[in-house]
A and B are shown apart, each in its own frame.
Chain A
Amino acid sequence: GENVEQHPSTLSVQEGDSAVIKCTYSDSASNYFPWYKQELGKRPQLIIDIRSNVGEKKDQRIAVTLNKTAKHFSLHITETQPEDSAVYFCAAPNPRLGAGSYQLTFGKGTKLSVIP
């Protein structure tokens, strides 16, 4: 099955700085890469995703880049704010189940702390 590696496990940045979290995946057939933000005791919240036909996607302060050759994708948060503090997970679906089946393998998570 899919194997997703995520690093770093913790990340502290000063408010206003940028944060970058990186993930690698193992199955070259994977074609959808979501990023989730999870606050304590809450469900994961999709913040951005990218599909394999594009290399970069941006939504205001958040961007995701994808390198299919190297099988890695990254989350970029610019102008960080204290409310960005949370645990972030990357994920990849099982490509063998076909399009539209979001059976996900998650990375181990990154605890982001934004220091005011």
Chain B
Amino acid sequence: GAVVSQHPSWVICKSGTSVKIECRSLDFQATTMFWYRQFPKQSLMLMATSNEGSKATYEQGVEKDKFLINHASLTLSTLTVTSAHPEDSSFYICSASYTEAFFGQGTRLTVV
């Protein structure tokens, strides 16, 4: 099947700093990618839709200035968590559409 690679798998950062997460489709092109967030023992919640060459679409309640999304090529989308705070600690997962939704490995973000 198609492969979506997400990096890093885990990251620890200090409060107030920024963290960038990459999501790559390795063997197919993805004009659209999706970013989800999953808190412990909860479901995956869609944060935003990343569109190649245009602005991302954010779900209600997600701060676009805090979660910066860039989709500069057909195989790469990045999510930057700016001025991270402990409440941003979560599991972030990207996906890209092909014959089905293909998910990255996820990134465990811990803000201390």
Contact = CB atoms under 8 A, between A and B. Distances in A.
For the residues of A in contact with B, the DSSP-based class is loop
Given A100-B97, A106-B44, A108-B43, A43 B34 contact: no
Contacts, number: 48
A108 B42 contact: yes
Interface string B87-110: 000010101010011011110100
A105 to B, nearest CB: 7
Contact of A41 (B32, B95, B100, B108): B108
Contact of B101 (A41, A42, A102, A108): A102
Interface residues of B, number: 19
Interface residues of A, number: 19
Given A34-B101, A43-B103, A102 B43 contact: no
